[in-house]
Amino acid sequence: MSATAAAAHPAWLRRASTFLYCRPTFYVLLLLIPPLLWLGTVYIGSLFALLANSFYAIDEFTARIVYEPTLATFRQVITQPAHLDIIQRTLLMAVAVTIACAGIALPIAIYMARYASSRMKALFYVGITLPMWMSYLVKVYAWRLILAKQGILSWLLESIGFDRVLDAVLQLPGVGGPSLASSYLGMFVVFVYMWLPYMILPLAAALERVPESLLQASADLGARPRQTFWHVTLPLAVPGLAAGSIFTFSLTLGDYIIPSVVGAPGYFIGMMVYQQQGTAGNLPLAAAFSVVPIVLIMIYLSLAKRAGAFDAL
Amino acid sequence: MTTAIEFRDVTKCYGNVRAVDGVRLQIEAGEFFAMLGPSGSGKTTCLRLIAGFEAPDSGQILLDDNAVTALPPYERDVNTVFQDYALFPHMTVLENVAYGLRVRKVSRAEQQRRALEMLALVKLDAMAPRRPHQLSGGQRQRVSLARALINQPRVLLLDEPLGALDLKLREEMQIELKNLQRRLGITFVFVTHDQGEALSMADRIAVFDRGRIEQLDTPRGLYTRPNTAFVAKFVGGANVIEGALAQRLAGGASHDAPAFAVRAENILLGDVRNSAATDVMRCEGTIVDVQYHGAASRYQVRLSSGELLTAAAPDSIHQAHWRVDSAVSLSWSRDAVMPLQAAAASNST
């Protein structure tokens, strides 16, 4: 055996692999250096470079950045009513989108994990990921057309006599607007559409890991389907829900394209960042605003952790 | 005695496979009943039919003389110990055991008290605050048992409950289970592929093959009077002798003995020239393999007519005497002969 191995591989190569095999720590280090370099410098490093900017402020008169550490920009973010308004609006939308995604994804994920045949399951996976193969911008603009005043949706609702309902909904303060395409409701629909796959996939994965016998044991011990759902299925789906909601929550907090293409004129955090670092040239304010989603997600994660969402990991 | 479980011509198919094929069965109340068979013989499907996880395609299942065929599991007074234990990973041991009471809306204090009582019964009360993944396999098994018993079911179903345990633990649990059953007086229905386990624990055993019950008998009855070649081979691995060899050995009585079985431990190995009495059957062959089992050795003997027979003997008798390639004679008393029905005949009953 060793003779054939020696013949198949040059000696220096065998010595090198023996060297690595006998030094697992060195081997792991070798494995991790390239990704750590990328993660450390390019990924985290640039993030910190951005965050560092938030501790500077802009000179009101010259519009130049003053490179002296200060908390003035942060104060600006959390004290100006207009800024708080933006944060509140974005946060509410993120929470609403996350709840809606969870509500829609859960039945689909349960079906995929429990009831679908393998053929059906494959069909669902393709169907759910299919929209992700397309350009994000194309989808957003397509939705704008669907939701427009003379668009497909209003035409469809009109033809089945539901146009009154649509008008009534659009009259509602807060969510309504002149048309679906320029209302928070329309924006909400587009957000839910965009992020739904990110909720379904981790949720279905979490539910698929739950052995069938747990559900049978629950029924066997006298639990009705509703009780099995609340006591067994849902608690075991929580890690998937947590993973999915991190996606939907953070993606909504950071997005600036959907709010600027679809929906009401109110600003969102992402749009604010885009505008401040671009047209307004106020990089410190943009950086300070980009800290807001990070803080919100950290709060969300600590709440989820306290609720035991990661106990099963 | 009353009947705890009855199967009336129950059939269950998966696609083209008849997993359970017209099974008729009565299990008495308070009985320790084993369903024995190789994998795919339909024994586990029968258990799942009793629990209510599967519905039969035809036939009826009765619990205490009430038809339950259409009832979901949570309406049946039956609890199950699962093969993988199926403990809820997000609950503590105590919560797992109390689950059956919790879903029945028993008060919290009562849940706690009775769950601790059940845990004490399986000697795990100290483990109450732990999570299932912090327990060993044997402990998980006992938690699963306590959880299934807390609702005081009429029938306890056990699906290969000892399969995942190591030998020593398995033997301990066999004794513990048997004691528990005697103490509680609950009907136990026990599914296993291990004939030793079934023989040592059960009051009665149903031997399954290809979705049918081959034989239903007491352990001693199964071992000493197997009906079919399948049962003779599966329970205790008897030698099945049929065809021309059976004709020749049975001699004059051949017409009513188309096939018979002889247990390995009833076969005597002897020198070829050794003469024998008239009430024995004998044949000759060559040893092809010897397996040492400690207390006894098993000798595989190839007869001159081609059949392979197994003889077992205490190690001291033939020690160093019989080796591979030794020519030997095999003999057994006519009392040791267990006549078998033809397979076709048994299938029609």
Which pLDDT score is estimated for A299? 92
pLDDT value at B50 more than 50: yes
Which pLDDT score is estimated for B345? 42
Q: What percent of chain B has pLDDT over 90?
A: 51
Q: Quote the mean pLDDT of chain A.
A: 87
Strand (E) or helix (H) holding B175? helix B167-184
Model confidence pLDDT, tens digit, residues B309-318: 998 887 766 5
Give the closest of A213, A221, A223 to B79, CB-based.
Answer: A221
Inter-chain residue contact B73 with A220, CB threshold 8 Å: yes
Summarize the confidence of residues A213-238 as an average pLDDT: 94
State how beta strands B187-192 and B239-242 pair. Answer: unpaired
Confidence of residue A200 (pLDDT cuts 50, 70, 90): very high
Inter-chain residue contact B80 with A231, CB threshold 8 Å: no
- Smallest CA–CA separation between B273 and chain A, in Å? 51
Whole-number Å distance between alpha carbons of A106 and A241: 9
Domains of chain B, earliest start first: 3-225 (3.40.50.300), 239-337 (2.40.50.100)
- Smallest CA–CA separation between B44 and chain A, in Å? 13
**Residues in Cβ contact with A293 at an 8 Å cutoff, skipping those fewer than 6 apart:** A90, A250, A253, A254, A269
Phi and psi based region of residue B175 (left: phi greater than 0; alpha: psi -120 to 50; beta: remaining): alpha
> Is the minimum CB–CB distance between A221 and chain B shorter than 8 Å?
yes
Which pLDDT score is estimated for A74? 86
Which of A220, A228, A233, A234 best probes binding to B when mutated, by most B CB atoms within 10 angstroms?
A220
Reported ipTM: 0.84
Which pLDDT score is estimated for A272? 87
Summarize the confidence of residues B267-296 as an average pLDDT: 78
Which pLDDT score is estimated for A230? 95
Summarize the confidence of residues A159-177 as an average pLDDT: 81
Summarize the confidence of residues A76-104 as an average pLDDT: 92
Q: What percent of chain B has pLDDT over 70?
A: 91
Model confidence pLDDT, tens digit, residues B182-241: 998 899 999 999 998 999 999 999 999 999 999 999 999 999 999 998 999 898 888 888
Whole-number Å distance between alpha carbons of B106 and B151: 11
- Smallest CA–CA separation between B159 and chain A, in Å? 12
Which pLDDT score is estimated for B347? 39
Residue A53 has what DSSP assignment?
Answer: H
The segment with the largest mean pLDDT, out of A16-30, A97-111, A254-268, B248-262, is A97-111
Which pLDDT score is estimated for B344? 43
A260-264, B27-31, B177-181: least confident range:
A260-264
Please state the φ and ψ torsions of residue A170, each to the nearest 5 degrees: -70, -20
Which pLDDT score is estimated for A1? 47
A115-129, B94-108, B295-309: least confident range:
B295-309
Model confidence pLDDT, tens digit, residues A204-221: 999 999 999 999 999 999
The answer to whether residues A248 and A201 touch, using CB atoms and an 8 Å cutoff, is no
Give the residue on B whose Cα is nearest the Cα of A225.
B74
Summarize the confidence of residues B262-279 as an average pLDDT: 74
Summarize the confidence of residues A247-264 as an average pLDDT: 89
Give the residue on B whose Cα is nearest the Cα of A235.
B90
pLDDT value at B332 more than 90: no
Inter-chain residue contact B88 with A220, CB threshold 8 Å: no
Inter-chain residue contact A236 with B90, CB threshold 8 Å: yes
Model confidence pLDDT, tens digit, residues B106-154: 999 999 999 999 999 888 989 999 999 999 988 999 999 999 999 999 9
CB pairs under 8 A between A and B: 67
The amino acid sitting at B323 is: R
Inter-chain residue contact B103 with A221, CB threshold 8 Å: yes
Whole-number Å distance between alpha carbons of B347 and B349: 6
The answer to whether residues A56 and A65 touch, using CB atoms and an 8 Å cutoff, is yes
Give the residue on A whose Cα is nearest the Cα of B78.
A220
Q: Which residues of B207-217 are buried (b: 16+ CB within 10 A; e: fewer)?
A: bbbbbbbbbbb
A190-199, A279-288, B187-196: least confident range:
A279-288
Which pLDDT score is estimated for B269? 82
Which pLDDT score is estimated for A4? 57
Give the residue on B whose Cα is nearest the Cα of A223.
B103
Whole-number Å distance between alpha carbons of B234 and B228: 10
- Smallest CA–CA separation between B111 and chain A, in Å? 14
Whole-number Å distance between alpha carbons of B194 and B127: 30
> Is the minimum CB–CB distance between A232 and chain B shorter than 8 Å?
yes
Q: How far is CA B205 from CA A23, A119, B38, B41, B196, in A?
A: 57, 41, 14, 14, 11
pLDDT value at B252 more than 50: yes
Confidence of residue B65 (pLDDT cuts 50, 70, 90): confident
Confidence of residue B255 (pLDDT cuts 50, 70, 90): low
Inter-chain residue contact A231 with B102, CB threshold 8 Å: yes
The segment with the largest mean pLDDT, out of A65-69, A276-280, B41-45, B327-331, is B41-45
Inter-chain residue contact B99 with A227, CB threshold 8 Å: no
Whole-number Å distance between alpha carbons of B328 and B284: 6
Whole-number Å distance between alpha carbons of A68 and A47: 19
